[in-house]
Amino acid sequence: MEKNNILVQDLCKQFDEFLLDHVSFQVPKGRIVGFIGENGAGKSTTINLILDELKKDNGQIQIFGREHTSSSVKEDIGVVFDECNFHDVFNVSDIEKILSGVYKSWDSSLYRQYLKKFKIPEKKQIGSFSKGMKMKLSIICAMAHKPKLLILDEATTGLDPVVRDEMLDLFLEFIQDEECSIFFSSHITSDIQKIADYVILIHQGKIIFEEQKDDLVYHFGIVKCGREKFASISPDDYIIHRVTNVSVECLVRDKEAIRRKYKDIVIDNATLEDIMLFYIKGGAA
Ligand SMILES: Nc1ncnc2c1ncn2[C@@H]1O[C@H](COP(=O)(O)OP(=O)(O)OP(=O)(O)O)[C@@H](O)[C@H]1O
């Protein structure tokens, strides 16, 4: 049986000044995969290629084990971008009329349930909604046809921390049956840190790592020391180091092993944001 909902292999796309360079990764069933990277790293390009909104130059993309261009995969995908594309004069019933015609599996009672749960006004025109309300509606619409795969491109960006948290809970519920998955790009690394099972970092069109989130946040660490102490640390024991005015900081893969090997060493926990910055900024302080 197919174990991945998305499989991307050697994906390439050349724009004038940007190359998406042999990108490969997978999104297993029942898992949330966070996709992080700086502005212009290639996240939206990758997502648009997966959704066949852009034509790839090279590589393979499979969704549910089938060619991603196959019309049969579209019904089972829910997509949310960072902007709400519904027309301002519509209300939620107008949206439902349109989407229930598009998706065979549209679930009206689930839609109404979500509208109530997330306090979306039923009578008002969408033009009068706040940015957060529009984003919530986009997420609800993407989920009300009961897809097996959710693809979210910066979908939680406009939401306040309370609503973001509610949405993250909804995403966690969504993958509980072990069949559904979420591929989730975000600049808010704390959201990814909260819910992702795997994290992929893309930088300048190349995948830098694809790691289990728990490995990143429980095992990675940042050594902080003076230059003298740093000279005693083997380069094999850290991934990247950076020199600041006052100290040296090293990103290490296994902080417990480093603690055992080097006595009196200070190692801080590393957040996903710290790790991303180390990789992207490299040795620059
Ligand atoms: N249609 C296009 N034609 C030419 N260049 C493009 C096109 N679409 C994207 N690019 C370029 O490709 C690069 C990657 O853009 P992309 O939108 O994938 O980045 P991103 O990681 O999603 O960034 P952000 O976080 O800012 O949304 C950028 O340099 C962008 O200018």
Segment 51-110, tens digit of pLDDT: 999 999 999 999 999 999 988 899 999 999 887 778 889 999 999 999 999 999 999 999
Q: Which of 23, 45, 200 to mutate to test the pocket of ligand 1 (most atoms within 8 A of CB)?
A: 45
Average pLDDT, the chain: 93
Report for 42-56, 116-130, 233-247: range of highest mean pLDDT: 42-56
What's the 97 CA to ligand 1 centre distance in angstroms?
33
**The model scores a pTM over 0.95:** no
Residue nearest to atom 6 of ligand 1 (CA): 15
Averaged over 259-280, what is the pLDDT?
Answer: 93
pLDDT band at 36 (very low <50, low <70, confident <90, very high): very high
Q: Are strands 149-153 and 77-80 parallel, antiparallel or unpaired?
A: parallel
**Is the pLDDT reported for residue 236 higher than 50?**
yes
Do residues 68 and 17 touch, judged by C-beta distance below 8 A? no
Locate the ligand 1 atom nearest the alpha carbon of residue 41 and give its number: 21
Q: How many CB atoms are located within 10 Å of the residue 127 CB? A: 12
Residue nearest to atom 12 of ligand 1 (CA): 18
**Is the pLDDT reported for residue 283 higher than 70?**
no
- Please give the pLDDT value at position 285: 47
Pocket (CB within 6 angstroms of ligand 1): 15-16, 18, 37, 39-45
**Is the pLDDT reported for residue 126 higher than 50?**
yes
- Please give the pLDDT value at position 44: 95
Averaged over 132-140, what is the pLDDT?
Answer: 91
Averaged over 1-19, what is the pLDDT?
Answer: 95
- 201 or 285: which leads in pLDDT: 201
Residue nearest to atom 18 of ligand 1 (CA): 42
- 282 or 55: which leads in pLDDT: 55
- Please give the pLDDT value at position 72: 85
